[in-house]
Amino acid sequence: MPNKIMVITAHPADLVERAGGTVVKHINRGDEVFFVSLTTGAVTHAFNVFPEMGDDKLKDLQKVKDMKKAELDRACKILGVQKWTMLDFPENPMFFTMEEYKVVIKMMREFKPDTVLCPHPTEFGRHDHMDSGRADGSPSPLAPHAVKNVFMFYYQDFRSDQLMGTTRKAPEITIDITDVIDRKMNALDEFATTQTRKGQDRSKTMKLFRERVDGGIGYLNGFAGGAGYGEQFNRLNPERYGLLPI
């Protein structure tokens, strides 16, 4: 039976950056994926779009939100994601009131995911990411839905360990995305219009991301003889066994 996978992130591009390769592989095997961006990313993920100063700096805010929505739509088409939504929660910091929690829980109870992918709640330096990893139960007229699997994106950053006051658990799950890396990078390219910084060589930046982040994971795990690519996750709930998994 196909699995239902819900991916929740703070910003639209995060969905692709953190799990784009993994979801393509699941879609290829018949699983259903639902992308949820909690914000438009127009405040924190729109570089060199708004004027630097002025009372009318944000006069085109709705136009930029529409641009972000179009970018995510194109990226989803490349990945094969047929169900997605882009919410408009406040950004940086992402303060959740009970109303925002209710929106997220309502979506979860309607979609009934078997698996949820989300940020780790102590991901340093990306407060919206941390906040988007903290959504849990709240009052709802819909019947509760127990999510069987919750996986948190694992991003290498020693400052996250400092924030926790202890070393994070090493990534438990590494997905080989070597055969779909091009589709992931093509989907990320769709965000270039709003996410290219002033003076930035976007193609060079994305090449470094490909080789040092996903490529670094592939190298350390020996995918394609060390020339492959990967994405990493930690499991929220531990596996339970009656015997050692040998």
Residue ranges per structural domain of the chain? 4-235
Per-residue pLDDT of the chain (246 residues; tens, 9 = 90+): 899 999 999 999 999 999 999 999 999 999 999 999 999 999 888 887 776 666 666 778 898 999 999 999 999 999 999 999 999 999 877 878 889 988 998 999 999 999 999 988 776 554 455 455 445 444 556 667 888 899 999 987 767 777 777 777 889 999 999 999 999 999 999 999 999 988 899 999 999 999 999 999 999 999 999 999 999 999 988 888 888 878
Contacts 24+ apart (CB under 8 A), 154-162: 154/120, 154/232, 154/233, 154/234, 155/18, 155/120, 155/123, 156/216, 157/123, 157/124, 157/125, 159/124, 159/125, 160/120, 160/122, 160/123, 160/124, 162/124
In the prediction, which pLDDT does 160 show?
Answer: 72
In the prediction, which pLDDT does 52 show?
Answer: 64
How is domain 4-235 classified at the CATH fold level? Answer: Rossmann fold (3.40.50)
In the prediction, which pLDDT does 136 show?
Answer: 46
In the prediction, which pLDDT does 61 show?
Answer: 87
In the prediction, which pLDDT does 174 show?
Answer: 96
CA torsion sign for 133, 38, 172, 232 is negative
**Residue 41, both tokens:** 């990313």
Q: Measured in Å, how far apart are the chain's first and last C-alpha atoms? A: 26
Task: Give the Cα separation of 5 and 111 in Å (integer).
Answer: 9
Whether the CB-CB separation of 84 and 72 falls below 8 Å is answered with yes
In the prediction, which pLDDT does 124 show?
Answer: 55
Polymer length in residues for the chain: 246
pTM for the whole thing? 0.88
